[in-house]
């Protein structure tokens, strides 16, 4: 019988590396309070047009398209931990560029800073779930994988709470806190044992796994290490190219599932909501303060993200995704109907609460499923040799869709966008029901066997 594992070290490491997610979250929602400031004719130091505002919002997603490939290149050369550190350093540089814009008065600098922030975010989206999945035990993988979305949320909230009430420069200075905190804390957690095995650093791999499996006997740790070693060395016999990624049914299914789920995440409208939160509430016609409404959404996202890990552990990834898709579809449709009626001139007196309630409920159901879990699926379905490439393609494809949505949102009526988002959530629900496997409690090898030898339904 296996010894009882003490997961304190695992939770500590997962929390530490997810400070990178905190940093990414803050960089992602910077545009929500900043664009209105830059468009304000009375207070803006650099008055921007609607087209320039759409580029500022969407270039982050374009940068994210390319970041995962850099992450995939670096992770097998310098390790998961130092790849994430490089990404956080790039975020730091992007803020310095943004701050200097006040002196150069060049909107192109803001474009560059947003692209770099997205580039670093792409690295984090591809590599952070990989690290967390590799250091987690089978039982804890789903819940610890949900930390990603939870740590993104306070980053979002940082901008929603402070952004409307502080200056352009103060918001940037405050946003530097998460990256600096990451640099302080990252030195106290070890590298993934998978990376050490890839580099044939077996003693370091044993030390790393022993640290993560506190409470397990030495024999049990060595047995797990041998299992990991066999899986990694078997995977490394293949080169990890595009050809390898498409070579077997299992890897093709892994790519299909990962790209599909992360695409549905974007097609639910999440990044449009995050990037344009304040303008969306203004467009909706509600008399409630757009700043207060945005803060409410941010707080609910944080709370719902905190519930997500135990929820995923209790019900499994598949059920959580189905519940999430249903909820998102209903509440995006509700917001779309409100916007449509308001645009047609109907009096919406007494319904000022509707946009906030619909977005709050949308965010809540998103955070319980399609927020964290597509990345958790991505982290567990690829074998080691193609995991960096598969993760890079998944994150890039997802954020290419986000870029298109972000750029087009200002072109079409808002209610049209939200009806489309609702329809995509319905498709996501059907996709999950019929094609996504239930991998609760399964090892990496069992998941590979499932994808290779059986239908992807369990």
| Rounded distance between C-alpha atoms, residue 188 and residue 179, angstroms | 15
pLDDT at 1 (0 to 100): 52
Cα angle: 4, vertex 5, 6; to 5 degrees: 120
Instruction: Report the candidate in 56, 16, 13 with the shortest Cα–Cα distance to residue 38.
Output: 56
Is 22 exposed, middle or buried (CB count within 10 Å of its CB: 0-12, 13-18, 19+)?
A: buried
pLDDT digits (tens, 9 = 90+) for 12-47: 999 999 999 999 999 988 988 888 889 888 888 888
Residues 23/155, Cβ–Cβ less than 8 Å? yes
pLDDT digits (tens, 9 = 90+) for 332-388: 999 999 999 988 888 777 777 888 889 889 988 998 899 888 988 888 898 877 888
- Positive or negative, the CA dihedral 140, 146, 150, 151 is positive
140 vs 458, more confident = 140
| Rounded distance between C-alpha atoms, residue 44 and residue 211, angstroms | 51
| Domain spans, the chain | 8-189, 193-238, 244-457
What CATH class is the domain 244-457? mainly alpha
Residues 316/380, Cβ–Cβ less than 8 Å? no
| Rounded distance between C-alpha atoms, residue 160 and residue 34, angstroms | 10
111-125, 303-317, 439-453 — most confident range? 111-125
Q: Which residues contact 315 (CB under 8 A, 6 or more apart)?
A: 323
| Rounded distance between C-alpha atoms, residue 223 and residue 229, angstroms | 10
* Inter-helix orientation angle 444-453/218-236, to 10°: 40
Q: How confident is the model at residue 110 (pLDDT cuts 50, 70, 90)?
A: very high
pLDDT digits (tens, 9 = 90+) for 128-143: 988 998 999 888 887 7
| Rounded distance between C-alpha atoms, residue 230 and residue 308, angstroms | 33
Residues in the chain: 458
pLDDT at 285 (0 to 100): 64
pLDDT digits (tens, 9 = 90+) for 40-68: 888 888 889 888 988 998 899 999 999 98
What CATH class is the domain 8-189? mainly alpha
Residues 271/398, Cβ–Cβ less than 8 Å? no
pLDDT at 202 (0 to 100): 93
Q: Provide the whole-model pTM.
A: 0.79
Q: Do domains 8-189 and 244-457 have the same CATH topology?
A: yes
Mean pLDDT over residues 304-323, rounded? 85
Mean pLDDT over residues 241-268, rounded? 93
pLDDT at 257 over 90: yes
219 vs 353, more confident = 219
According to DSSP, residue 163 is labeled G
410 vs 454, more confident = 410
Q: How confident is the model at residue 458 (pLDDT cuts 50, 70, 90)?
A: very low
| Rounded distance between C-alpha atoms, residue 43 and residue 2, angstroms | 64
């Amino acid at each position: 019988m296996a010894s009882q594992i003490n997961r304190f070290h695992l939770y500590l490491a997962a929390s530490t590396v997810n400070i990178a997610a905190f940093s990414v979250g803050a960089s992602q929602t910077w545009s929500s309070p900043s664009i209105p400031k830059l468009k304000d004719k009375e207070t803006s130091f650099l008055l921007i047009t609607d087209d320039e505002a759409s580029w500022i919002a969407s270039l982050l997603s374009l940068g994210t398209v390319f970041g995962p490939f850099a992450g995939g290149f670096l992770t097998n050369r310098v390790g998961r931990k130092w790849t994430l550190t490089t990404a956080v350093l790039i975020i730091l540089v992007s803020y310095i560029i943004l701050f200097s814009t006040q002196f150069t008065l060049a909107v192109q600098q803001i474009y560059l800073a947003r692209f770099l922030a997205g580039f670093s975010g792409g690295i984090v989206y591809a590599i952070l779930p990989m690290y967390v999945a590799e250091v987690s035990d089978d039982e804890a993988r789903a819940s610890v994988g949900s930390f990603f979305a939870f740590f993104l949320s306070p980053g979002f909230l940082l901008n929603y709470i402070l952004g409307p009430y502080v200056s352009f420069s103060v918001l940037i200075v405050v946003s530097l806190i998460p990256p600096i905190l990451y640099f302080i804390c990252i030195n106290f957690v070890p590298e993934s044992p998978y990376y050490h095995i890839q580099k044939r650093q077996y003693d370091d791999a044993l030390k790393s796994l022993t640290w993560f499996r506190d409470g397990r006997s030495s024999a049990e740790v060595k047995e797990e290490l041998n299992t990991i070693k066999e899986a990694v060395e078997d995977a490394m016999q293949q080169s990890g190219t595009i050809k390898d990624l498409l070579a077997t049914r299992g890897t093709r299914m892994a790519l299909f599932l990962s790209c599909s789920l992360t695409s549905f995440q974007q097609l639910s409208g999440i990044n449009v909501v995050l990037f344009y939160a304040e303008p969306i509430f203004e467009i909706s016609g509600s008399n409630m303060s757009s700043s207060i409404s945005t803060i409410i959404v941010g707080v609910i996202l944080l709370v719902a993200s905190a519930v997500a890990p135990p929820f995923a552990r209790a019900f499994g990834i598949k059920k959580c995704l189905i519940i999430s898709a249903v909820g998102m579809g209903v509440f995006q449709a509700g917001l779309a109907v409100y916007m449509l009626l308001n645009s047609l001139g109907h009096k919406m007196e007494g319904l000022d609460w509707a946009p906030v309630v619909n977005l709050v409920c949308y965010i809540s159901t998103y955070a319980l499923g399609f927020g964290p879990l597509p990345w958790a699926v991505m982290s567990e379905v690829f074998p080691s040799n193609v995991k960096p490439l598969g993760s890079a393609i998944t994150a890039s494809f997802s954020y290419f869709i986000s870029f298109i949505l972000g750029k087009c949102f200002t072109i079409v009526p808002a209610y049209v966008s939200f009806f489309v988002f609702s329809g995509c959530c319905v498709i996501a629900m059907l996709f999950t029901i019929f094609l996504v496997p239930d991998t609760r409690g399964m090892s990496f090898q069992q998941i590979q066997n499932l994808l290779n030898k059986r239908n992807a339904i369990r």
